[in-house]
């Protein structure tokens, strides 16, 4: 770099000296340069003063703002007399990254506005396209997206007549026609059509909900149109467009690097390569011309920025040509809960099929029944065993839940994440910008001053040595904001008394700012602010040099004080002042900190009360992490990243019990996630930078926080659009409600299936009796269709993570099904004595059908809550109006069909007195079953609760002891910590993941893929294809 520097063009020099907010923050206490989270790039180290060549002039880039930062300027030969180069000030952009998010909510995408990025050179290849040319090319090559195959509505409707359940109904209708039972034929055909119409309506509504979710995120990129850089949707890019990309951006189309910084490009999404490629680079043997400048769609710019020329878009890109394979890999995938549920359903259906085969054999051989009629009865039995509405209910439930979470500022990119969030037991959270405000704040009460100088004077002098035009500088911004809070309305007048004659801004070499000014009372002053060592004694660093008065005597005192503040987690700047021609005198040490958000402490408390252990995983310094953790009540067990290696069983146990890690690298974050998963925990991970993508992809729930880069957002399952963790708590509550709804429906439907199959089997084997096939089909269809409102039912979130337990759900379903079967068989025995009617078999069949139908409908009220039905009838746990109307509407409907049987000819006529007694019988049966469930729960036996007896999640307020504890030590969250510890044991025992496999792989350094393939991403192109490709090439990380 030292040899290249004299030949660097302006566009290469500016990034070399660019000032990142992270490096300014770090300079105060330790002087290290940290990675900018917004750009994903780091500042290039400068040559030493002795060997550093000089630059004749510096011209600011076009289109840059008006704030200032210093650069070096001198002659190429080092100056006429070899003197040190002079510090000068040039313009750089303020707010460079305010509109740099290329993937953002639609209302924050700034489409059509001027992009605050460099315009580039005036060379012909940088001219870009006119609007007319771009429109013509857009018509020729199409939009820059992968065309989604939208299924026409008529196809969606016709598909409702395909599948196992419709085929069975169609066969039943045909058999009814064959045996001449035209009444059953008409009713079955009508039910087939009605079922198809309802399924079409609900599926269409679910599609509209998902389309609305997809539309909430917009991909944009700065593009040169008509000679101006404007923000355009990625979908409108065409070959020939000149675009601007920087660190953290996902390449939106196959492009060619034109000019700017050298870039590091992560191609893992396409090639699986773990090492980023450098662009531009010389073409290698066998490569096409220009391959070294190629940027492929879906790759990530990890470092650098520059202008690129779009070559191919949409289906013509490399990732677009593989779209068929990628879309297949990213197609519908079931979450853990849905997978387990479908396993249970398959088992139930398999048992029903075996039973049906036996029934068919017995009916034909033993009972000598006509084969076609016996086959119709068997088909009815199988139809009753199949939960036709289960996939639809799950899809609608998750679509509604995703829409609700979007309104709460959490956009779900993979629907399966809704099931995972409910099971989350550990949340690994970033610090800066998530737990804290990401804005430095001065603590005037902690300012240390020397020789009687007042803290207010020291703060005022620090304000004078700050640049108010440089609004993006965190140090200057914090100092000036503190002045406004301290001095109030008098701030401007106080600072204006100091008339600046010269101001030398900060740069990474001298690490200080110096203001030369005049004051009506104090005369001429020279005020310096910066790194302590560079203010106390500057050394020969090429700037304005001095050594403070009594520096040798002061050195130990101020360093000890600085170390004391640093140990408490504060960043510091020093202030020195000289009057007239007098020596510089050390004045003060000003501490500052990135303060926690106002709601962070309360949110941490709530998340822990929800049974989720929170760990801070940050790249910041250990002392700063410990202080922040103490302030938010997280605990002070923060360890350095060096404790993560080497891997061992002791290390794994330490990860489990610690409150987090500081000074971590990307691989450290992912290692923490792997170890926690290896212990059987469901892990959530927050991130915002390019290098967070591996950990976000590894965690079961990857969460991109507000302001995250496109790389982090494309790897995440949930994207937050408001700052802080409070949104995550809202997402946890909503996800647990979704889980409760799904569990209620599954519990109900499996129990109903067991009842139908067992009752019919007992009637056939024990009584040589059966129900008409029409009744069984009507029973299955009506009971399924009326349960669709469960998708939006009122549900209470569990106080603990919802770990799917299939044995618990199966046990509860068997108990419910057995009790319902017992209730029906008792009615079957009592019917000839109590409900005689006309004494015919048809009357008996109709009465039994009505009892079963109504009992199954009412069962949902017990299945939907672990508590008592009567207690849940009011308050937040009450069933939704839609569900109540559906259940009682269905029961009223079948009652009317039975009461007016002579009119409708669907159900054999029943006497109204008997219908009323059946209502009372079924309501009484519901209360008896529910009372038994309540008694079991009181006795601590949750056999009928299916694991839902963990209490209700509350938006708990901080206890007074925690609110009053300003230091927030570990004792302040003792109860929450204890709850999380208990949960660790619970989750590890009841894990839904095959974690032993992960643990074994992690121990030998392997990189296992995600446990469950994600469902299709709802992000726009190319982020959706990149998310799928990341899964396919995950070993690259």
φ, ψ of residue 145 to 5 degrees: the values are -160, 165
426-429 and 683-687 strand pairing? parallel
718-720 and 523-530 strand pairing? unpaired
441-442 and 585-593 strand pairing? antiparallel
- Please answer whether residues 1 and 48 qualify as being in contact, where contact means their C-beta atoms are separated by less than 8 angstroms: no
- Please answer whether residues 426 and 615 qualify as being in contact, where contact means their C-beta atoms are separated by less than 8 angstroms: yes
- Please answer whether residues 744 and 394 qualify as being in contact, where contact means their C-beta atoms are separated by less than 8 angstroms: no
Give me the DSSP letters along 186-226.
Answer: HHHHHHHHHHHHHHHHHHHHHHHHHHHHHTTEEEEEEEEET
Helix segments in 488-547, DSSP class H = 491-496, 532-536
- Please answer whether residues 718 and 411 qualify as being in contact, where contact means their C-beta atoms are separated by less than 8 angstroms: yes
Task: Give the E-state strand segments of 558-687 in sequence order.
Answer: 571-579, 585-593, 613-617, 638-640, 660-662, 683-687
Among 431, 462, 592, 596, which residue's Cα sits nearest to residue 528? 462
Q: How many residues does the chain have?
A: 1037
- Written as six digits, the tokens of 863 are 């299945």
Q: How far is the CA of 455 from the CAs of 466, 488, 778, in angstroms?
A: 17, 16, 83
Among 181, 241, 261, 430, the active-site one is: 430
- Written as six digits, the tokens of 135 are 């429109």
| Cα–Cα dist 833/836, whole Å | 6
430 is catalytic: yes
- Token pair 């064959």 is found at 178
| Cα–Cα dist 101/9, whole Å | 27
- Written as six digits, the tokens of 930 are 């529910």
Crossing angle, helix 390-407 and helix 182-214, to 10 degrees? Answer: 30
Dihedral (CA of 157, 159, 164, 170) sign: positive
Beta-bridge mates of residue 530: 512, 574
Question: Could you tell me how far CA 939 lies from the centroid of its own chain?
Answer: 39
- Please answer whether residues 538 and 530 qualify as being in contact, where contact means their C-beta atoms are separated by less than 8 angstroms: no
In three-state secondary structure terms, 1023 is helix
- Please answer whether residues 1003 and 389 qualify as being in contact, where contact means their C-beta atoms are separated by less than 8 angstroms: no
- Largest Cα separation within the chain, whole Å, is 122
Contacts of residue 152, Cβ cutoff 8 Å, sequence gap at least 6 = none
Taking residue 919's Cβ as centre, other Cβ atoms within 10 Å add up to 17
**CA Rg value for the chain:** 35
Among 699, 651, 696, 678, which residue's Cα sits nearest to residue 1002? 678
Catalytic positions, please?
A: 430
């Amino acid at each position: 770099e030292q040899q290249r520097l004299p030949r660097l063009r302006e566009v290469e020099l500016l990034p070399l000296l660019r000032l990142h907010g992270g490096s300014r923050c770090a300079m105060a206490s330790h002087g290290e340069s940290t990675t900018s989270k917004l750009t994903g790039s780091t500042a290039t180290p400068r040559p030493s003063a002795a060997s550093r060549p000089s630059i004749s002039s510096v011209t600011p880039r076009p289109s840059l703002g008006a704030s200032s930062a210093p650069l070096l300027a001198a002659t190429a030969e080092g100056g006429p007399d070899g003197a040190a180069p002079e510090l000068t000030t040039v313009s750089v952009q303020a707010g460079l990254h305010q509109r740099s998010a290329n993937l953002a909510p639609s209302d924050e995408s700034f489409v059509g506005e001027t992009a605050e990025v460099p315009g580039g050179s005036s060379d012909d290849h940088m001219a870009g396209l006119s609007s007319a040319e771009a429109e013509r090319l857009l018509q020729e090559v199409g939009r820059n997206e992968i065309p989604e195959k939208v299924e026409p509505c008529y196809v969606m409707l016709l598909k409702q007549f395909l599948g196992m359940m419709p085929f069975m109904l169609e066969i039943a209708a045909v058999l009814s026609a064959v045996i001449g039972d035209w009444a059953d034929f008409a009713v079955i055909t009508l039910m087939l059509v009605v079922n198809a119409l309802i399924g079409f309506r609900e599926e269409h509504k679910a599609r509209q909900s998902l389309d609305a979710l997809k539309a909430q995120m917009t991909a944009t990129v700065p593009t040169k149109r008509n000679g101006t850089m404007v923000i355009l949707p990625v979908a409108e890019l065409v070959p020939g467009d000149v675009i601007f990309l920087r660190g953290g951006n996902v390449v939106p189309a196959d492009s060619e690097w034109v000019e700017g910084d050298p870039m590091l490009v992560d191609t893992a999404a396409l090639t699986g390569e773990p090492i980023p490629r450098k662009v531009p680079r010389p073409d290698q043997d066998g490569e096409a011309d220009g391959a070294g400048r190629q940027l492929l769609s879906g790759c990530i710019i990890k470092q650098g920025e520059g202008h690129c020329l779009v070559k191919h878009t949409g289906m013509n890109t490399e990732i677009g040509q593989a779209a068929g394979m990628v879309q297949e890999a990213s197609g519908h995938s079931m979450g853990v809960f849905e997978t387990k549920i479908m396993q249970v359903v398959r088992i139930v259906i398999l048992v029903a099929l075996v039973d049906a085969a036996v029934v068919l054999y017995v009916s034909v051989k033993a009972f000598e029944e006509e084969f076609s009629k016996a086959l119709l009865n068997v088909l009815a039995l199988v139809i009753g065993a199949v939960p036709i509405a289960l996939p639809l209910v799950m899809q609608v439930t998750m679509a509604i839940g995703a829409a609700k979470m979007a309104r709460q500022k959490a956009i779900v990119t993979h629907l399966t994440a809704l099931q995972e969030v409910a099971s989350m037991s550990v949340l690994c959270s970033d610090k800066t910008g998530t737990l804290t405000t990401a804005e430095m704040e001065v603590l005037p009460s902690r300012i240390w001053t020397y020789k009687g100088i007042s803290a207010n004077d020291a703060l005022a002098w620090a304000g004078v040595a700050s640049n108010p035009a440089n609004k993006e500088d965190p140090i200057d911004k914090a100092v000036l904001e503190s002045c406004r809070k301290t001095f109030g309305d008098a701030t401007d007048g106080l600072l204006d008394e100091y008339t600046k004659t010269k101001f030398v801004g900060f740069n990474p070499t001298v690490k200080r700012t110096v203001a030369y000014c005049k004051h009506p009372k104090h005369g001429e002053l020279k005020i310096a602010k910066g790194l302590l060592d560079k203010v106390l004694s500057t050394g020969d660093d090429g700037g304005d040099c001095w050594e403070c008065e009594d520096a040798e005597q002061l050195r130990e005192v101020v360093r000890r004080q600085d170390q004391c503040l640093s140990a408490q987690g504060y960043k510091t700047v020093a202030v020195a002042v000289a009057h007239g021609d007098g020596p510089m005198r050390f004045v003060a040490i000003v501490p500052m900190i990135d303060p926690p958000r106002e709601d962070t402490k309360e949110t941490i408390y709530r998340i822990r009360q929800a049974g989720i252990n929170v760990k801070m995983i940050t790249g910041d310094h250990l002392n700063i992490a410990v202080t922040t953790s103490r302030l938010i009540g997280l605990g002070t067990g923060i360890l350095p990243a060096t404790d993560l290696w080497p891997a061992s069983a002791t290390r794994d146990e330490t990860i489990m019990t610690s409150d987090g890690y500081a000074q971590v690298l990307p691989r450290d974050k992912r290692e923490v996630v792997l170890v926690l998963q290896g212990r059987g925990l469901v892990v959530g991970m927050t991130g915002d930078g390019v290098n967070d993508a591996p950990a976000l992809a590894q965690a079961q729930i990857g969460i991109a926080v507000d302001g995250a880069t496109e790389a982090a957002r494309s790897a995440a399952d949930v994207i937050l659009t408001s700052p802080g963790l409070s949104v995550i708590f809202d997402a946890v509550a909503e996800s647990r409600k979704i889980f409760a709804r799904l569990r209620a429906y599954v519990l109900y439907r499996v129990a109903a299936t067991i009842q139908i199959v067992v009752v019919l089997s007992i009637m056939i084997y024990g009584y040589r009796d059966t129900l008409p096939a029409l009744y069984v089909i009507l029973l299955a269809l009506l009971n399924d269709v009326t349960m669709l409102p469960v998708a939006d039912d009122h549900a209470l979130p569990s106080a603990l993570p919802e770990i799917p337990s299939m044995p618990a759900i199966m046990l509860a379903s068997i108990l419910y099904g057995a009790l319902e079967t017992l209730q029906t068989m008792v009615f079957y025995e009592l019917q000839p004595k109590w409900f005689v009617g006309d004494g015919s078999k048809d009357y008996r069949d109709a009465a039994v059908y009505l009892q079963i139908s109504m009992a199954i409908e009412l069962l949902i009220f017990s299945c939907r809550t672990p508590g008592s039905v009567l207690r849940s009838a009011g308050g937040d746990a009450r069933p939704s109006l839609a569900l109540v109307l559906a259940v009682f509407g269905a029961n009223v409907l079948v009652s009317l069909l039975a009461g007016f049987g002579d009119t409708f000819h669907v159900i054999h006529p029943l006497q109204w007195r008997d219908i009323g007694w059946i209502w009372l019988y079924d309501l009484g049966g519901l209360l008896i079953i529910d009372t038994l469930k309540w008694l079991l729960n009181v006795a601590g036996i949750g056999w009928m609760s299916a694991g839902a007896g963990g209490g209700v999640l509350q938006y708990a307020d901080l206890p007074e002891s925690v609110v009053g504890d300003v230091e927030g030590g570990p004792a302040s969250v003792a109860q929450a910590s204890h709850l999380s510890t208990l949960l660790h044991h619970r989750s590890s025992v009841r894990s839904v993941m095959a974690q032993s496999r992960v643990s074994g792989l992690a121990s030998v350094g392997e990189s296992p893929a995600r446990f469950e393939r994600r469902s299709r991403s709802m992000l726009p192109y190319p982020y959706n294809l990149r998310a799928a490709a990341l899964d396919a090439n995950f070993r690259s990380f």
